[in-house]
Amino acid sequence: MEISRRDFLRVSGATMGVMLFPSFLKDAKAESYARMLKTKEGTESTTICPYCACGCGIIVTARKWGNKVINTEGNPDHPINEGSLCSKGSALYQIANSDKRLKFVWWRPPNGKRWITIPWFLALIMMAQRIKRTREANFTTEDLSSGRTVNRTEAIAAIGGAALDNEECHLYTKLMRSLGIVYLEHQARI
Amino acid sequence: MLSYNKDINSVEEGLNHLQGKEYISESTVNFFRDITRAQYRIKSQLHGIDISCSLTEDEVKERMRKGKPLISWDNIPLKESHLKELFKEICKIMKRQENSGDEEIQRLIDAESGEEFDLNTLIKKLFFHDRAYFHSLSDDLGVSEELLLFVALHLAKPFFELVAEMLKGKVVDNLWLKNYCPVCGSEAQMAKLEREVGKRILYCLLCGSEWRFMRIKCPFCCNADHEHLRFIEEEGSPYRIDLCEQCRRYIKTLDERKAGDSKREIIPTVEDLATIYLDIVAKKEGYERSWFFPPSVDQLKTKRDSKTLH
């Protein structure tokens, strides 16, 4: 029977466990230390820095459970920055973790003089209602002068934020285009 | 690419640091100290030997471009007398160790002296990863396959290291981002994230080479889907275990940036020994450790074609 290298590795790996420390040697100290060990799990994924047009690569480390960002660093395998980051890129961690981040939506009611905080679900409902109302009132299927099909609304404009990263911009653009919004801008800068 | 092989004094110093630690027994440290000393003794005898490895710079580049490791069977300076000497030493050291199975070791010694197998063939079969040979030899001799492989790997180590040291300086780092050792073709055994920008360096503990590899990629199956890669880190320590959910294997990693002292010398074999408890943790989680065996040229070709293109 022909045995592939993979089979060999699987069988020998399973029987041997650790090579440098094979199973016929026991280390009671290491075993008891392993039992008491406090560990944390994490995952790493890549993204692109949102701040300027250079497009530096970043590795984001998050806790496996809870998806909390615990670190951001330059990606050493990215051809543009090879692991280095400017001062703004280095501070990217603060987008996810900062005491100065707004935690609620601030809203000033019509004719009101004061800002009040409202929960996210309410803000989203209010935004959706406004978008729907404006879009339906101003949607054009055909360009009046040329007669071409356009399916757009010129009554809404979208401005992306400087802290939106590559993936967020992608989703944001898709959403806006699907609504027929043509005035689409992003605050990218060098 | 560099060869990280250190002189015996550095290794001894590294092992001395492990004495009295709560995570490793003194007997384990002494066991590996004795094996290392025996290996270095043989290595020092080998230094005068002429090793036939006359690859020119262009040939090295060509081999690397094709994903072929530089070492070939003919390059390994095996000498029967050295092998026998080291074999006897390793068996003697193992016999001194508790729970290592005196009877089995004695059977192995008797079989070797009775010429039931020869050490040169053992290393050759290891180099060409002939599992069937180890399997049948284990049955024939009545010793465990694990013991046979352990002896074979520690026998081969000084010879592989010597060839790797000779090739040091000929290897161009940016031509090699593969998941196997550029010198002997073995899989990586340890990794580090280097201090400056966190580049991932893989270590081959068989020949003592180190090479660069991608951060978000499994060094065994080349899975680059971050959803199936994760790590377990020890709280307040520079060590972590990188796990691949796809092939269920792991590699221990030292993050130099968390290691504190910038002058700390990293000796992968010592780091490996110092983190036996992480192997226990990974094994409990159901992961297997990487393996030494250098894949054959055909398998490397398949690997190169299917997985290791960047």
Q: Does A138 touch chain B (CB under 8 A)?
A: no
More confident residue, B165 or A187: B165
pLDDT value of position A5: 39
Q: Which residues of A touch B199 (CB under 8 A)?
A: 76-77, 83
CA distance A165 to chain B (A): 18
Digit-coded pLDDT (tens) for B143-162: 888 888 889 889 998 988 88
- CA-nearest of B290, B295, B294, B203 to B249 is B290
The verdict on a CB contact (< 8 Å) between A28 and B214 is no
Q: What share of chain A is helix, strand, coil (3-state, %, to 5)?
A: 35, 25, 40
- Chain A, residues 47-106, CB within 8 A of chain B, namely 59, 64, 73-77, 82-84
Distance CA A57, CA A89 (A): 10
Query: Would you list the domain boundaries of chain B?
Result: 4-48+72-166, 173-307
**Is the reported ipTM for this assembly greater than 0.90?**
no
- Chain A, residues 102-131, CB within 8 A of chain B, namely none
Q: Which residues of B touch A43 (CB under 8 A)?
A: 226-227, 229-231
Digit-coded pLDDT (tens) for A62-88: 997 777 999 999 999 999 999 999 999
Q: How many CB pairs under 8 A join A and B?
A: 161
- pLDDT beyond 80 at B268: yes
Q: Which residues of B touch A31 (CB under 8 A)?
A: 277, 280
Position B277 confidence tier, pLDDT thresholds 50, 70, 90: very high
The verdict on a CB contact (< 8 Å) between B281 and A37 is yes
Number of residues written out for chain B: 310
The verdict on a CB contact (< 8 Å) between B28 and A21 is yes
Position B129 confidence tier, pLDDT thresholds 50, 70, 90: confident
Please provide the distance, in angstroms rounded to a whole number, between the alpha carbons at the two ends of chain A.
63
The verdict on a CB contact (< 8 Å) between B234 and A16 is no
Query: Range with the lowest mean pLDDT among A121-125, A138-142, B110-114?
Result: B110-114
Q: Does A46 touch chain B (CB under 8 A)?
A: yes
Nearest CB partner across the interface for B229, out of A7, A43, A74: A43
Digit-coded pLDDT (tens) for A136-160: 999 999 998 999 999 999 999 999 8
pLDDT value of position B304: 43
pLDDT value of position B50: 62
Q: Which residues of B touch A38 (CB under 8 A)?
A: 234-235
pLDDT value of position A186: 81
Q: Does A43 touch chain B (CB under 8 A)?
A: yes
Mutate to test the interface with A, among B90, B126, B150 (most CBs of A within 10 A): B150
What mean pLDDT is predicted for residues A168-187?
Answer: 92
How many other CB atoms are there within 10 angstroms of residue A129's CB atom? 10
Position B194 confidence tier, pLDDT thresholds 50, 70, 90: very high
Nearest CB partner across the interface for B235, out of A17, A39, A46: A39
The verdict on a CB contact (< 8 Å) between A25 and B272 is no
Q: Is B128 exposed, middle or buried (0-12, 13-18, 19+ CB in 10 A)?
A: middle
Task: State whether residue B60 is helix, strand or coil.
Answer: helix
The verdict on a CB contact (< 8 Å) between A13 and B288 is yes
Percent of chain B with pLDDT over 70: 86
Digit-coded pLDDT (tens) for B28-50: 899 999 999 999 998 888 776 66
Biggest CA-to-CA distance, chain A: 86
Contact between residue B253 and residue B231 where contact means Cβ atoms under 8 Å apart: yes
Contact between residue B179 and residue B308 where contact means Cβ atoms under 8 Å apart: yes
Distance CA B307, CA B217 (A): 11
Q: Which residue of B has its CA nearest to A12?
A: B146
Digit-coded pLDDT (tens) for B230-257: 999 998 899 999 999 999 999 999 999 9
Nearest CB partner across the interface for B131, out of A3, A29, A75: A3
Percent of chain B with pLDDT over 90: 29
Distance CA B205, CA A127 (A): 60
Digit-coded pLDDT (tens) for B45-76: 877 666 656 677 788 888 888 888 888 887 78
Is the alpha carbon torsion for B139, B291, B169, B302 positive or negative?
positive
Q: What average pLDDT is seen over chain A?
A: 85
B173-307 fold: FdhE-like fold (3.90.1670)
